[in-house]
């Protein structure tokens, strides 16, 4: 950190893709989608409650990014810029979803994608515990503990101060520990 | 996919089991075909978005097509009224200017025909008075009477 590092070939390649995409090359933009869609999905998934909503947020985010591409300065980090846009799209979807599905049970919203790694009961308990967390605290703990983001990065993604991200993480961890403590003793 | 650059979810206040549960719950799809499909859907959305933007950004003249006949008639009447008022005001102003310049021209013509006034000269009318023969003025200015 803080040392002069030569620009990697990957970064140079990405810069080329960005410049070509800005010049109207759709194939170059597809290259950027290919590179960033997994990370974009992870960011979106940490904010919304379901896989489908995360996918919608990714698609909306990329579309917004494409439209705003001419305003992007190539010396910026494209990933950070894009993930911020995707996070905003996800926050928007989460807000709309909250209004629309206020009466629905959280289990139906929290069902993850087709990867049944954990038992249904365990997953349902976790989903309920996550649902009792605030939207922001949930996003912070997922971005930090699942995706490995630092507090400052989370703050930048969600538009909150670093200190808020730090305290949200602390409260979210404590909350989930409390909610799932009986589960641990049962196991 | 887990890029661990922080405490890897194992800080002093973190429960490793809860962290593992979270990672399992939020695990991204592993199937490569899923990501290829998502990429295609994203690009399809981008292409459709461009088409929609072009549809939403019509040529400048197409806005006139949105006017209703009544709107056009009202706009025409207002424009005609304003034009008449402007034309009337312009005509009156021009007539006033013409009258003023005519008067000035006449005055200039009259003034140019008169002899130049003499310095320190006083023009007086010299009407001859009919005085009686023995009036004293006849003795004072005999050539004038």
Rounded to a whole number of angstroms, the distance from the CA of A112 to the nearest CA of chain B is 7
Q: Does B94 touch chain A (CB under 8 A)?
A: no
For residue A114, give how far its alpha carbon lies from the nearest alpha carbon of chain B (Å): 8
Q: What's the pTM value of the predicted model, to 2 decimals?
A: 0.61
Which of B9, B24, B42 lies at the smallest CB-CB distance from A118? B24
Q: Cβ of A112 and B26 within 8 Å?
A: yes
Q: Per residue of chain B (145 residues), give pLDDT as tens.
A: 455 566 666 667 778 888 888 888 888 898 899 999 999 999 998 888 766 655 655 556 555 555 566 777 788 899 999 999 999 999 999 999 999 999 888 888 877 776 655 555 555 555 666 777 777 777 777 777 6
What is the tens place of the pLDDT at every residue in A134-162?
Answer: 889 999 999 999 888 999 999 998 999 99
Q: pLDDT tens for chain A, 187 residues: list them.
A: 444 556 788 888 899 999 999 998 999 999 999 999 999 999 999 999 889 999 999 999 999 999 999 999 988 899 999 999 999 999 999 888 877 665 454 444 444 444 444 457 777 888 888 888 888 999 999 999 988 899 999 999 899 999 999 999 999 999 998 888 765 555 4
| CB spacing of A118 vs B18 below 8 angstroms | no
Distance between CA A39 and CA A29 in Å, rounded?
A: 16
Residues A26 and B43: beta-carbon distance below 8 Å:
yes
Q: Classify A119 as helix, strand or coil.
A: coil
Cα–Cα nearest to A58, from A25, A80, A31, A85: A85
As a three-state string, the secondary structure of chain B is: CCCCCCCCCCCCCCCHHHHHHHHHHCCCCCCHHHHHHHHHHHHHHHHHHHHHHHHHCCCHHHHHHHCCHHHHHHHHHHHHHHHHHHHHHHHHHHHHHHHHHHHHHHHHHHHHHCCCCCCCCCCCCCCCCCCCCCCCHHHHCCCCC
ipTM over 0.90: no
Give the residue on B whose Cα is nearest the Cα of A66. B46
Partners of residue B32 in chain A, C-beta under 8 Å: none
């Amino acid at each position: 950190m803080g040392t002069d590092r030569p620009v990697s070939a990957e970064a140079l390649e990405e810069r080329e893709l960005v410049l070509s995409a800005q010049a109207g090359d759709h194939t170059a933009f597809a290259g950027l989608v290919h590179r960033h869609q997994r990370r974009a999905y992870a960011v979106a998934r940490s904010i919304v409650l379901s896989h489908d909503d995360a996918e919608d947020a990714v698609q909306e985010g990329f579309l917004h990014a494409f439209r705003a591409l001419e305003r992007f300065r190539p010396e910026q980090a494209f990933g950070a810029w894009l993930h911020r846009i995707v996070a905003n799209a996800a926050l928007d979807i989460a807000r709309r979803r909250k209004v629309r599905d206020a009466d629905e049970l959280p289990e139906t919203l929290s069902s993850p994608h087709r990867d049944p790694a954990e038992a249904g009961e365990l997953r349902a308990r976790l989903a309920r515990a996550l649902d009792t967390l605030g939207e922001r605290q949930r996003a912070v703990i997922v971005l930090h503990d699942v995706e490995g983001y630092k507090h400052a990065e989370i703050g930048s993604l969600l538009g909150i101060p670093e200190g808020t991200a730090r305290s949200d993480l602390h409260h979210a961890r404590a909350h989930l520990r409390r909610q799932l403590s009986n589960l641990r003793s049962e196991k | 996919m887990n890029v661990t650059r922080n405490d890897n979810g194992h800080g002093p206040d973190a429960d490793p089991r809860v962290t593992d549960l979270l990672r399992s719950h939020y695990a991204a799809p592993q199937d490569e075909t899923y990501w290829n499909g998502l990429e295609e859907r994203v690009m399809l959305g981008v292409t459709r978005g461009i088409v929609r933007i072009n549809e939403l950004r019509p040529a400048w003249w197409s806005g006139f097509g949105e006017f209703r006949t009544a709107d056009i008639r009202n706009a025409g009447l207002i424009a005609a009224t304003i034009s008449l008022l402007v034309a009337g005001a312009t005509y009156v102003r021009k007539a006033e200017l013409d009258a003023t310049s005519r008067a000035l021209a006449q005055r200039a013509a009259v003034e140019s025909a008169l002899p130049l006034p003499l310095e320190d000269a006083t023009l007086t009318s010299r009407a001859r008075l009919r005085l009686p023969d023995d009036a004293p003025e006849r003795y004072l200015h005999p050539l004038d009477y």
